[in-house]
Amino acid sequence: MDDVTDIYREYGDERLPPGQHQTDDFPVLSKSGTPSWTAETWSFDVWGAVEEDRSFDLDEFRALPSTTQRQDFHCVTGWSTFDCEFTGVPFSTIAERAGVTDDAVHVMFHALDGYTTDLPLSECLREGVLFAYELGGDPLPEPHGGPLRVVTPHKYAYKGAKWVDGVEFLSETERGYWERRGYSASANPWNEERYG
């Protein structure tokens, strides 16, 4: 298992970002509650500035090369949970499968509940950015984003869309749901970049 909990060393010496408190719990937050879905109809779609649009059903997605990592999880509301064990498909694997074109500079994640969030492509290609479908060796619980969520250990967790069902590669910057409502586009926990 890869260990990426030392990602904080890029920003300073403290594992717990300023303004955060550590909790052993994993609170559940969302903009509108847990959406409904079925394994038979769920799909994960990839489109935009790519050589080939791709679509994966649940079994196809879980058959992709995966990794398990221990990550810290930082919520913009002020709590952090350490050593979350996520299993999933690295973002870079999806980018390679779709063949990201040279004009791709930004990414928009799309979710079953209509949620969106954005990041520069370079931030998504970092180690640790996963499309996670397991937590602690078990299927990701639906309240935490199952069947699939994005995890972004170097960002506040609103950058990690729950119930993600698509990723769009963009040639220009666009803003997601909370970013359009005043949240930080960069979302660096160690710099307390909570609001734009």
The CATH number of whichever domain residue 15 belongs to comes to 3.90.420.10
Distances (CA, A) of 51 to 110, 120, 173, 174: 19, 19, 19, 20
Sheet holding 54-57, edge to edge: 54-57, 43-48, 164-170, 106-111, 116-120
Provide the whole-model pTM: 0.94
The answer to whether position 11 is within a domain reads yes
The pLDDT value recorded for residue 29 is 63
DSSP H helical ranges for the chain: 58-62, 91-98, 121-124
Residue 6 banded pLDDT, cuts 50, 70, 90: confident
The answer to whether position 152 is within a domain reads yes
Residue 139's H or E segment, with its range, is strand 138-139
The answer to whether position 126 is within a domain reads yes
The pLDDT value recorded for residue 116 is 97
**How many other CB atoms are there within 10 angstroms of residue 157's CB atom?**
24
Sign of CA dihedral 34, 86, 25, 78: negative
The pLDDT value recorded for residue 33 is 76
The answer to whether position 36 is within a domain reads no
The answer to whether position 33 is within a domain reads no
The answer to whether position 8 is within a domain reads yes
Cβ-in-10-Å burial (0-12, 13-18, 19+) of 53 comes to exposed
Digit-coded pLDDT (tens) for 16-32 = 999 999 998 776 666 67
Q: How many domains does the chain have?
A: 1
**Cα–Cα distance measured from residue 166 to residue 163, given in angstroms and rounded to the nearest whole number:** 9
Q: The tokens of 21 are what?
A: 């408190």
**Domain range spanning residue 161?**
2-24+43-191
Residues 6+ apart with CB under 8 A from 102: none
The pLDDT value recorded for residue 104 is 98
Ranking 7-11, 15-19, 45-49 by mean pLDDT, the lowest is 7-11
Q: The tokens of 67 are what?
A: 């990794």
The answer to whether position 34 is within a domain reads no
The answer to whether position 83 is within a domain reads yes
Digit-coded pLDDT (tens) for 125-164 = 998 999 999 999 999 999 999 999 999 999 999 999 999 9
The pLDDT value recorded for residue 30 is 61
DSSP designation for 50: B
Using DSSP's 3-state secondary structure scheme, residue 82 falls into strand
Rg from Cα positions in the chain: 16
